[in-house]
Homo-oligomer: A and B are copies of this chain.
């Protein structure tokens, strides 16, 4: 390792190649008007000198290396991990870098947006976030395109491009699956009552129940925060109902995990005594015991679509649809089974009581 000389510049390389700075610049930018001989000599000198360009400046409006900021509204979890994974893969395909950040509300909208632009971001992908009108304005002032993944409320979506999945169809499919297995007492343990995705799943559930003539008994629909603990607590409450459900449709996989644990604590066997369906199909769903039947959201694809759309917006292209919905799909694994026969004996209170 040689002692640190100054970083090589175009002038350095030009001198050692015996050409002008202009010529080196042309080689660097892949222009056609350089002889092959000169080009290859300059290229090898560039390499020998470990030439590193200044952080790329734009020519016109195009950047040499695109950078997209993916902003989360909270700590990373299994859900956002899948989205990031998809974004990173999609970025790699088009040579765009993905910056991951977690939203802090400290900054004023103007400074926040200008900061993103100054840092050279080409676009912003916001996951699950609620952007204020101020923030939207600030972004548009610095010409930063925005794509929202799974927007919290759809009305906000006016003028904002967003990516989601077919939550209603997913809720419908999950519930129909349970109905087809003979369940009638099916409960829904969901996320925030105000979140658009949760409402759509809930409506899917209600639609399926209604179509099948199955009653949604009092207490069968509960809201939460899409957290594991909601499943533990909510599951326990449901088990205590006079007419306890034989199946639970959870608004996300984390909730389903909580229900699994609530069932275990109560000595209920899954799927023999209780069927559970999750939502998302994050990596852990297949690692549950039993492996979780769940509604797959194509989260990686959603991350990828968001990045590609953001890049197209940044390039000034018009995007024809302002809300893309990717298809959900029911994945049947081991946590669902036919309903226990009506009037079958209630399961023992705790497993330990059995042994």
Contacts and interface: CB of A to CB of B under 8 A. Distances in A.
A50 interface: yes
Interface stretch (A70-78, A180-188, A210-218): A70-78
B50 A114 contact: yes
Top 7 closest pairs, chain A to chain B, by CB: A55-B120, A52-B117, A257-B287, A55-B55, A76-B85, A264-B289, A50-B141
A291 to B, nearest CB: 7
A342 to B, nearest CB: 17
Contacts of A228: 286-287
**A-side binding surface: helix, strand, loop or mixed?**
mixed
Contacts of A88: 76, 100-102
Contacts of A314: none
B118 A65 contact: yes
5 contacts: A67-B99, A98-B101, A228-B286, A261-B287, A261-B290
Contact of A84 (B100, B114, B119, B286): B100
A142 interface: yes
A355 interface: yes
A109 to B, nearest CB: 12
Contact of A118 (B52, B257, B351): B52
B286 A289 contact: no
B52 A54 contact: no
A315 interface: no
